[in-house]
Every structure is written in structure tokens, then in C-alpha cells.
Amino acid sequence: MKLLAAYEVDTVFGMAGTMTVELYRGFGAAGIRHVQCRNEQGASLMADGYARATGKPGVCTIIAGPGVTNAATGIAQAYCDSQPMLVLSGATATRTHGKGWGAVHELEDQAAVTRGFTAFSAMVRYPEELPELIARAYTVFRSGRPRPVHLSLPRDVLPEPVTADWKTRRAPTLPMPDPAAIEEAAERLARSKRPLIFVGGGAVGTRASLTAIAERIGAPVLATNAGKGILPDSHPLSLGGSILQRASQQALADADVVLLVGSEVSMGDHFLPRLEIAGDIIRIDIDPGELTSMYAAAVPIQADAHAALAALDGALARRKLDAQRDPGVQPTAGEAWARKILAANAANMSELDKLHARVWKMLRAALPADTIVMGDATQLVYSGSFAMPMETERCWYYSGTYCALGVALPMAIGAKIGAPRRPVIAVAGDGGFMFTVNELATAVEERLALPIIVWNNDALKEIVDQMDQRQIPRIGVEPKSPDFIGLAQSLGCHATRAESAAHLQQSLRAALGADRPTLIEIRQDSPWLAA
């Protein structure tokens, strides 16, 4: 724990168990805060939320066996979304491994259980392995594509004495772009007639260079959920997170050059088997595997996006862009194209999307610009990808790739603990909220000013709609919900049901300054939501 403190770990989410009690001996000595979850799934999701809000690795401690399998959802989500997480779990005694003796919490090969959704998973056999393994983990977090790491700590290894002082080890620097590839990319963009930029979470932190490039070449900028807010939605070249909408998808197909930065182009962002990208792709990614994936690059650039876009902007600045070239590449034409795309998107919204957009407009008006929104897998959040305006990056979080239910509340708890001065809200559907409702108790215990929006339509509505469209009987998709107000109050929360737009906004503003969490239920069938 002292070694983790030296790596600037200040908070750990978890639940103690018979195999990890010795680990807890170190919390006080290291000065690390422990946040007790109500289920290990909550611990991993809180660690994920903490990582997203702070940019630092989230850390969780869990027991062996059921603790590992309970936490698997949060670990796998962090893996899919490239989030840094250190998972420290207990393990059965080393002499029992592989024996099948029925040891308590036994998994025959625990490290193998998480190996498929971690950067690496290792079983610690003796204490001296830990400094190297933790240094290796921080190398993953700081110098490559960040992903979770799982270390299993056997119950007979944890109590062993350590005489040496463990020290941190320096991680390597991020990869820098190939100058020749940058020059080729700049030349292609300078000559392009209809360029478009597409950014994901790997482009976070690149606003200055991204904006300069977009304005130089007149390229609209489209974002995934993870890239939402890198370019403010108010910018005339911004298409926001509208990749879910048809006109934005068509614009991507119509572009002759696409600058794709820091995204695997997940199906969870656009709900299609594959996006059509007919033009040449200039692809910047820190993960070399992405550069030869489904969306192969004409110009692949393996590099940190910040360094690559800064270099690309410099290369474009050195070129004198021809003022007489095709109108499609003029900045004003790019802005006109962006306006046309957004207008087409707005004109083709479904009635349900319009309803959701009204709700997001109400919420946006009541929230500070830097509010962190943790979204669950629910129709309201799907629409929020394009309907919730964002001026700032690291504010909108929805994991469309893993798309697990129940993630919003624990992730919001982790985010609020990691960034206590920032407003944080959770948005979940009635079905998803029930997956992790127990973590309301954690939020109350931590006295978090955390609004939780529960969008209640008395169903797993996305699946209901799909069943209805395919003429499949509604089976297992309309679970009975509890009295959410009474449930939240019984756990020590404030709670209310929104009765009007003004009441919703008033309740939300009050919740942001409250002495405990506040559940705000919005019923989809409320008359005041009608157009």
C-alpha cells in the first residue's frame, strides 16, 4: 500500500474478505482512503468512474473467487473503453493451486479468468514480484493504450515480511509520430476536397491542435461518445456526438479524406455492423492493432494523439493552402456542410428522440458546463449522445461498447469521490438502475451530493421495441419496479418525482448542493413531457 501511495494512489474502492484482511493493514500506514462498496461489481465500476474523472488509474481491492467474478463487469468495461484500473484480489493459498481441493473462494486458474479482459493478469508467488508487476501495470497506464491490470495475491503470500524499501519505477514515454507519415497526412489533407475529422477518447486533450487543423482545412468534426466535447458543440464545425444519426453517417461516407483519431469506431457508437467510409483514412492511434483493423488506414500513424495532432498542425501551417482550390475545402464551405448535416439530423429525429431531446435540454439548462454525466444503457442516454450539448471533454460517459446495465450509479460515485469539486450526475433507466441500486447506500455513507436521474418507462424499453418490431411476444422485458422514491428514502437519500420542467430543474440544482444523494424519478409517460 505504501508503494501504491508512492504512485499517487489516494483512494481504493473495495470490500474486505477473509483473504485480503492483511492487505488492509497497510491502508492507515499509507494514508490511502478506502471506500466500501456493497458488491465487488460496484468496486470495479467505482474505480472506472474515478479513472475517467481524474485521469489517474482507479484501484479496487476484492476477494478471490466470487469477488473476481462479481467485479468482472467493471473490469471488462474498463478494458473495452481503454481505462486504467488496478485490480488487487485475494487468492487461495499457493499450495492449493490447481489441486481441486475445494478451497474457499477457489477458482482453478484465477489469473486466467480475467486474462481476456485485462492488459495482463498475474498470480503473485512471492512479495518481491510486486514492485516489478506494479511498475509494469503503470507502464500500461502511462505509455500505451490504458487498460486494466489484475494482480492475484494469495492469502499465504500477503502476510510475508518485506525488508527492502519498494520504490516506484519510471514508465517509458509515449510513442512519437513518424515525421514522414505526418508530412504525407498533411499533404493529403491539404489537397482534399471534402475532409472530415472523426475523434474518439484517444483524442482527449488535443482541443487546441484539433481546432486549428479543422479550421485550416474546413473539416467538420464528428465525435464518438468518448470524444464528445473535445471540440465544443458550439463550434461551427462541430457535429457533436451525432454518429448515431443518419446524416452524419452519410457525411462520413461522402468525405474524400477522413482523419480518424483515437477511436476503434465501436459498433456501440453507431449501432451498425460497419460504417461506410469510402475516402482515404488517415488514422492516428496509440494501439498498432487498430491501424490495421476493420477501418484500415491509407496513412497509419502510431503515436500519442496529442503529439501527432500538434505535428500535423505544424505541417499544415507550413503549406500555403490554395485559396482557389475546390470550394469543398474552404472553411466557410465546411461550416455550411456542418450546418446542413445537423439540420438533416434534426429533421429526421423520431418522436422518441424529440422527447429525449426535450429532457436533455431541461437538464442542460440546470447543470454547470463542467458537469460529469455518467450514463447507463438506456434509450434516454442513447439519444443523449447527440441531444446533450457538451462544451467540455471528460464530461459525457456512456460505454456503448460493453453496454452493461447498472453502471451509471457506481461510476458516478467513483467520479464524485475522485473529483469532489465537480458536479456529477448519474442517468439510468428503471431496469438498469436495479442492477446496482444497493450502491445508493455507499453514496449515502460517503455523503455525496449526487443527483441520480431514473428514467422510468416500466420496461426494458429498447428490447420491448425490438420485440414489437419483430412481432415477438413481450417475455421477460417488463419487470415490476419498486417505489423508487420510498426505496431511495429508506437508504437515506433525498428523493422526488419530477412534476414539471421547472420542478425537475429546481430539484436538480438543489441536489447538486445537498448533503446526500438525491434520486429524481422522471416518468416517460408524464403529461408535462408532451410537446
205 lies in the same domain as 246? yes
Any domain includes 444: yes
Any domain includes 136: yes
pLDDT of residue 331: 56
Residue 321's pLDDT band, with cuts at 50, 70 and 90, is low
CA torsion 355-360-365-369 (nearest 10°) is -160
| Model confidence pLDDT, tens digit, residues 288-313 | 999 988 898 999 999 999 999 999 99
Any domain includes 413: yes
Number of domains in the chain: 3
Any domain includes 394: yes
β strands within 165-232, DSSP E: 195-199, 221-223
DSSP 3-state assignment of 325?
coil
247 lies in the same domain as 355? no
In this structure, the chain runs to a length of 531
Any domain includes 447: yes
Residue 273's pLDDT band, with cuts at 50, 70 and 90, is confident
Q: Mean pLDDT over residues 465-484, rounded?
A: 94
Q: Mean pLDDT over residues 461-490, rounded?
A: 95
522 lies in the same domain as 410? yes
Residue 324 has pLDDT above 50, yes or no: no
Any domain includes 78: yes
Residue 347 has pLDDT above 70, yes or no: yes
| Model confidence pLDDT, tens digit, residues 229-261 | 999 999 999 999 999 999 999 999 999 999 999
In which domain, by residue range, is 246 found?
Answer: 179-347
Query: How is residue 7 annotated by DSSP?
Result: T
Residue 320's pLDDT band, with cuts at 50, 70 and 90, is low
Residue 339 has pLDDT above 80, yes or no: yes
85 lies in the same domain as 148? yes
**8 A C-beta contact, residue 383 and residue 357:** yes
| Model confidence pLDDT, tens digit, residues 425-443 | 999 999 999 999 999 999 9
Q: Mean pLDDT over residues 476-495, rounded?
A: 96
392 lies in the same domain as 310? no
| Cα-to-chain-centroid distance, residue 364 | 20
Q: Which of 306, 321, 347 lies at the terminal end of a domain, its last residue?
A: 347
Any domain includes 167: no
pLDDT of residue 248: 97
143 lies in the same domain as 9? yes
* Residue 454, phi then psi, degrees to nearest 5: -110, 110
340 lies in the same domain as 396? no
414 lies in the same domain as 318? no
Distances (CA, A) of 41 to 44, 60, 237, 266: 5, 10, 40, 24
| Model confidence pLDDT, tens digit, residues 415-426 | 999 999 999 999
Closest alpha carbon to 285 in 384, 211, 181:
181
318 lies in the same domain as 355? no
pLDDT of residue 141: 96
Radius of gyration of the chain, Cα coordinates, nearest whole angstrom: 24
pLDDT of residue 382: 95
Any domain includes 162: no
200 lies in the same domain as 75? no
Domain CATH number, residue 472:
3.40.50.970
The vertex-368 CA angle with 363 and 371, nearest 5°, equals: 80
Residue 1 has pLDDT above 60, yes or no: yes
326 lies in the same domain as 434? no
pLDDT of residue 97: 82
pLDDT of residue 267: 84
Residue 98 has pLDDT above 90, yes or no: no
Residue 476 has pLDDT above 80, yes or no: yes
327 lies in the same domain as 387? no
Contacts of 351 (CB under 8 A, 6+ apart): none
**8 A C-beta contact, residue 199 and residue 261:** yes
